[in-house]
Amino acid sequence: MLLHLDVFLFNLKATKQWSSLFPVKRKKRNRILPDK
């Protein structure tokens, strides 16, 4: 369970990095999940 959480957090960080590289993708994602 703990390992799964680490993988989830790692993927979340990677997603945020990709979103910063591709603002268009980030805007689409914000419709579903607002950025904090």
Confidence at residue 36, expressed as pLDDT on a 0 to 100 scale: 56
Rounded to the nearest 10°, the torsion over CA 4, 5, 7, 9 is 170
Confidence at residue 3, expressed as pLDDT on a 0 to 100 scale: 80
**20: containing domain:** 2-32
Q: What is the pTM of this model?
A: 0.39
Instruction: Count the domains in the chain.
Output: 1
Q: pLDDT tens across 1-36, in order?
A: 678 888 888 888 888 877 777 665 555 655 666 655
Confidence at residue 15, expressed as pLDDT on a 0 to 100 scale: 83
